[in-house]
Amino acid sequence: MKGILQTLSTVILAVLTYGYFSFALMFYPYDFFAEELKIPDNIKFEKPLKLNDEKDRVNIHQQDFILYDYLQPGMYKYDLFLHKIEKGKVYLKIFEITKNNILSEKSIKEKSKIEVENNTDELKRFELKDNFTIYEGDWGQFYGSRIEVWFKPDAINKPERKLITKNYIVQGWMR
């Protein structure tokens, strides 16, 4: 009888301990993704601009994009400058630069979409109306990323193509 009570109490204590730590870790805010990542010295990176930094928006003379910090760390918007492009949608693909891991693939693809069309040779600015979030990493954990702008034409018979690639220092959004 004494052995059964001891076994039962051990099982109950183990279940309670496991339940407590499982519940506590669900709300543990730390993301270890960027913990060991280093920003390479041999690659040129840009930093996202503050959203209200208008001076950098007007000095664009070629096809390009500018990444902006938005509201909280890990949340971003971007402006895209294109000339002569058929009707379609652009979206971003973002990769951690040292391991080439794609970041928040589905949500960024969906949230970074902009409808574009420009029949002239003049450079036209397209602005992301909403924002997108990089979930990997935490506030203050900066790491290098490669950001690619992809174009999907509305014409069914035309393939998607990469338009622009730039490297940025980014951080993840703290959940």
* Domain residue ranges in the chain: 1-30, 49-170
User: CA–CA separation, 40 vs 19, rounded Å?
Assistant: 41
CB 127 within 8 A of CB 103: no
pTM metric for this prediction: 0.78
Characterize the bridge pairing of strands 64-70 and 49-50. Answer: parallel
pLDDT score of 143 more than 80: yes
Asked if 172 and 75 count as a contact pair (C-beta separation under 8 A), the reply is: no
- At 2, list the tokens: 């004494």
List of residues 6+ apart from 78 with CB closer than 8 A = 65, 66, 67, 68, 92, 112, 128
CA–CA distance, 111 with 30 (Å, rounded to integer): 24
Tens digits of residue pLDDT in 87-118: 999 999 999 999 889 999 999 999 999 999 98
Q: 111-140 pLDDT, tens per residue?
A: 999 999 988 888 899 999 989 999 888 888
Percent of the chain with pLDDT over 90: 42
Which uninterrupted H or E stretch holds 167?
strand 161-170
Starting from the edge strand earliest in sequence, which strands make up the sheet with 161-170, in order? 114-118, 85-96, 143-153, 161-170
Query: Which CATH superfamily groups domain 49-170?
Result: Immunoglobulins (2.60.40.10)
**Amino acid code (one letter) for 47:** K
Residues 6+ apart with CB under 8 A from 10: none
What's the Rg (C-alpha) of the chain? 23
Structure tokens at 38: 């280093």
